[in-house]
Amino acid sequence: MAKFETTRVLHFGDCDPAGIAYYPRYFDLLNGVVEDWWDSMGVPWKTLFLERRIGLPTVRFEVDFRAPAFLGDTLVFSLAVARIRGKTVDLNHSVRRDDAVLWRAKQILVPTSLETHKSIAWPDDLRVALTSFQESSYAHHPSA
């Protein structure tokens, strides 16, 4: 299973009056991580959304928050492709601080036409991007 990792520092504006991460901001950070991942695959959202008029709305989330994050924490976001199907991709997210997993999420994304807001089959190049991402990963992680 391929992985994409990146870090975010938890800023003041991400925290709530209890001094811990405000979960809606977690989703905002997560969406940015997914965006950076597509960018790393050579598919910037600017092109995808504004030129090709393809969106990637989320149709399902399952999230488990295990421990709070605090102001100034460095969080490691790790994203893995779990499954690609005709009109969906399943992602597994984990967010760690040092060795502790703070939260996990399963997310299902669906490619859609931004004209009709209906789902579409994965365009070939996007499927290739997702698949090659898996392939290169398998090459490096044969046990995955």
| Closest approach of a second copy to the CB of residue 9, in Å | 8
Q: What is the DSSP letter of 136?
A: H
**What's 35-69 look like in SS3?**
HHHHHHCCCCHHHHHHHCCEECCEEEEEEEECCCC
Q: Does 82 bind a second copy (CB under 8 A)?
A: no
Q: Does 101 bind a second copy (CB under 8 A)?
A: no
Kindly state the tokens that stand for 17. 């009056």
Q: Does 142 bind a second copy (CB under 8 A)?
A: no
| Closest approach of a second copy to the CB of residue 129, in Å | 17
Give yes or no for a contact between 5 and 80, defined as CB atoms under 8 angstroms apart.
no
Q: How far apart are CA 53 and CA 66, in angstroms?
A: 37
Of the candidate residues 1, 5, 42, 60, the single one contacting a second copy (CB under 8 A) = 60
Kindly state the tokens that stand for 24. 């809606």
Kindly state the tokens that stand for 59. 């149709």
Q: Does 3 bind a second copy (CB under 8 A)?
A: no
Q: How far apart are CA 115 and CA 74, in angstroms?
A: 39
Nearer to a second copy, 35 or 90 (CB): 35
| Closest approach of a second copy to the CB of residue 5, in Å | 17
Q: Does 6 bind a second copy (CB under 8 A)?
A: no
Q: How far apart are CA 105 and CA 109, in angstroms?
A: 13
| Closest approach of a second copy to the CB of residue 48, in Å | 10
Q: Which residues bind a second copy (CB under 8 A)?
A: 9, 11-13, 15-20, 22-25, 27-28, 30-32, 35-36, 39, 44-46, 49-50, 55, 57-68, 70-72, 114, 117
